[in-house]
Chain A
Amino acid sequence: NAGVTQTPKFRVLKTGQSMTLLCAQDMNHEYMYWYRQDPGMGLRLIHYSVGEGTTAKGEVPDGYNVSRLKKQNFLLGLESAAPSQTSVYFCASSYRGNSNQPQHFGDGTRLSIL
C-alpha cells in the first residue's frame, strides 16, 4: 500500500532557485495538506485543498504556491527559495475534514536552502 508518497525525499537549493514538491495519494482522499516542521515547533499548515481544483491558504502560506489539478496529486511550489524555507515538509491527506477521519502523512521532504 503506497498511501501518501512525496518526492523528492531530499533536496538542496541555492537562494533564489525554484522547485516543486510532489505529493501523491492513492486512497481517493478529498482533502490534502502541506505542512512544514521546524525544530522546537509543531507542524504548521502551509496550504490545503478540499478537492480537485481547489486550494486555500493555511497558517504560513507566504513564499509558497500550490496546485491540485488532479485529485490524487497536490503540488507545492517555491518560486524563489529563501534560507528561511529550510525545513522538513510533510504532505498529508484525509478522506474528508471530519474529526473522525485521521490525516495520513507522507514520509517527508528535507529541503535545505543555502
Chain B
Amino acid sequence: RKEVEQDPGPFNVPEGATVAFNCTYSNSASQSFFWYRQDCRKEPKLLMSVYSSGNEDGRFTAQLNRASQYISLLIRDSKLSDSATYLCVVLFSGGYNKLIFGAGTRLAVHP
C-alpha cells in the first residue's frame, strides 16, 4: 500500500466549477501536510499547507481529518490556469523531516 494515495484523475471540469480532491495517508505519525501544484513538465511548487482546523487561501480550501487520515483540497470557481497536477504531500518528523509525495491528481479545466 502506498504511504500517500490519491485518485490520479483526470478531473475534467468546466470553468467556474467547484472541484474537490482527496488524499489518504497511512502513517498516523505524520506531522504536517501540504498541497503542491505541478504544471506539465515543470517542478512542484507549494500551493498551501494544511492545518488541523482547515484553512483557506482565496479560492482554495484545505481540510485535514487526522482520525480518518484524510486530506482534501477544494477549488472554487475553477480557472483555466488551475489546470495542473495537484500533489498531496505528508511530512514525517525525523532526522530530516521526510516528505512523502502522492502521485498526484490531474485537473483539466476547460472553457
Residues of A bordering B, CB below 8 Å:
31, 35, 40-45, 48, 50, 56, 90, 97-100, 102-103, 105-108
27 contacts between A and B (CB under 8 A): A35-B101, A42-B4, A42-B87, A43-B44, A43-B101, A45-B98, A45-B99, A48-B96, A50-B95, A50-B96, A56-B95, A56-B96, A90-B43, A97-B95, A97-B96, A97-B97, A99-B32, A99-B93, A100-B32, A102-B46, A103-B46, A103-B99, A105-B44, A106-B43, A107-B42, A108-B41, A108-B42
Question: How many whole Å from B76's CB to the nearest CB in chain A?
Answer: 24
Question: How many whole Å from A10's CB to the nearest CB in chain B?
Answer: 11
Q: Which residue of A lies closest to B4 (CB)?
A: A42
- Contacting residues, chain B, for A98 (C-beta < 8 A): 97
| B34 at the binding interface (Cβ < 8 Å) | yes
Per a CB cutoff under 8 Å, which of A35, A41, A48, A102 touches B34? A102
| B27 at the binding interface (Cβ < 8 Å) | no
Question: How many whole Å from B100's CB to the nearest CB in chain A?
Answer: 7
